[in-house]
Amino acid sequence: MILTEAPVVTAALEAAVRAPSPHNSQPWLFELGPDTIDLVLDENRVLAVCDPDGREARLSCGAALLNLELAIAVAGRCCDVEFLPRKDRPELLARVTIGSRHRAAAAVQRLAASIRARYSNRRPFASTPVPAGFRHAVRQAARDEGAKLILLDEVGLLEAVAGLIRRADHVQMLDERFQAELRAWTKENGSRDGVPAYAGGPRPSGGLLPVRHYGNGDQTREFERDPVVAVLTTPTDGPLTQLRAGRAMQRALLTATSLGLSASFYSQPMEIPSARAVLRSLLGEHDHPQAVFRLGYGFPGSTTPRRPLGAVIRIMPGEDRR
């Protein structure tokens, strides 16, 4: 069916690779069968220092999976998703089987239209408040995928979490292994993976939050005083939860994009186990934090490149598949 369904498959893969990933590492591969797309974690692209367990890579793959499903839907097909279909192959994260014709709902089309528009905006946001209805919509998006998105509205809590982010950022700045990995993924403009200098954003002059240093240069700017910081949490942790959390993260990000909002990540406390434990206790809940990002009205920026589809697909003959 691959040949006859090629436009659906190409559209789905082009959408999938637009997912965010730490340092734009793009830790995914897609194995194409006669009527299936297998999403595989590319273990060679898991970041050894900031993501030794592959948690962030699985979040990224979960985001890619949601994009894939949305694109299949807007291409007029339904699909069935099996999570972790083979116990003997844990890197095989999901099998997507393309099904019969199906008309996508308007809400699905809106979300899918945001896949290409979304990007990490590390610049200052406008001071315009994010309306309550928009906050609700982004929270609901995460809830629809079984996760919780906590917006740090309480001033004391925001300051405590921002302080934790700053301290974790400082620890990473002093960590030579972390710095070497960051440098390796900070790429010249024109590279198809890694973070290009133009996406780095300026350094904040004071303010609550640091910005990760992706070749940002010496430019400094004042950031918004009251950032809207969101923490995505899940009731359990582990590979399946992380994959699903990635879908929740992406649904929240796409919903935000569809509402004209920008976002940028602050994973520093997620990448240091003791800081992640402190974040968990600060939230006063038993849930596990999975991702931290800032939301707001950004000034226009640009998307970052991705590797060509040829670099991320493998065509699998039928008999190799089960």
Ligand X SMILES: Cc1cc2nc3c(=O)[nH]c(=O)nc-3n(C[C@H](O)[C@H](O)[C@H](O)COP(=O)(O)O)c2cc1C
Which positions lie near ligand X, rule CB under 6 A?
20-24, 56, 59-60, 119-120, 122, 195, 212, 264-268, 291, 303-304
Q: What share of the chain is helix, strand, coil (3-state, %, to 5)?
A: 40, 20, 40
Q: Residues in the chain, how many?
A: 322
Give min distance, CB of 266 to ligand X, in A: 5
Give the separation between CA 211 and CA 204, rounded to whole angstroms.
7
Give min distance, CB of 254 to ligand X, in A: 12
Query: Which whole-number Å values give the CA distances from 302 to 4, 200, 216, 242, in the listed order?
Result: 34, 11, 15, 28
Give min distance, CB of 188 to ligand X, in A: 14
| Closest to ligand X by CB, 33 or 289 | 289
Q: Which residue is nearest to ligand X (CB)?
A: 20
Query: Which whole-number Å values give the CA distances from 216 to 26, 186, 211, in the listed order?
Result: 21, 10, 9
Query: Which whole-number Å values give the CA distances from 240 to 32, 189, 278, in the listed order?
Result: 22, 35, 23
Give min distance, CB of 15 to ligand X, in A: 12
| Closest to ligand X by CB, 27 or 33 | 27
| Closest to ligand X by CB, 56 or 224 | 56
Give min distance, CB of 121 to ligand X, in A: 8
| Closest to ligand X by CB, 5 or 297 | 297
Give min distance, CB of 184 to ligand X, in A: 14
The beta strand positions in 218-276, using DSSP E, are 220-221, 228-234, 262-265
Q: Which amino acid is at 288?
A: H
Label the pairing between strands 288-296 and 262-265. Answer: antiparallel
| Closest to ligand X by CB, 95 or 187 | 187
| Closest to ligand X by CB, 97 or 274 | 274
Give the separation between CA 38 and CA 82, rounded to whole angstroms.
10
Give min distance, CB of 2 to ligand X, in A: 27
Query: Which whole-number Å values give the CA distances from 218 to 83, 189, 200, 213, in the listed order?
Result: 45, 18, 11, 10
Give min distance, CB of 181 to ligand X, in A: 12
| Closest to ligand X by CB, 8 or 149 | 149
CB distance 312 to 30 below 8 Å: yes
| Closest to ligand X by CB, 37 or 245 | 245
Give the separation between CA 279 and CA 263, rounded to whole angstroms.
20
Q: What residues contact residue 286 under an 8 Å CB cut-off, 6+ apart?
A: 235
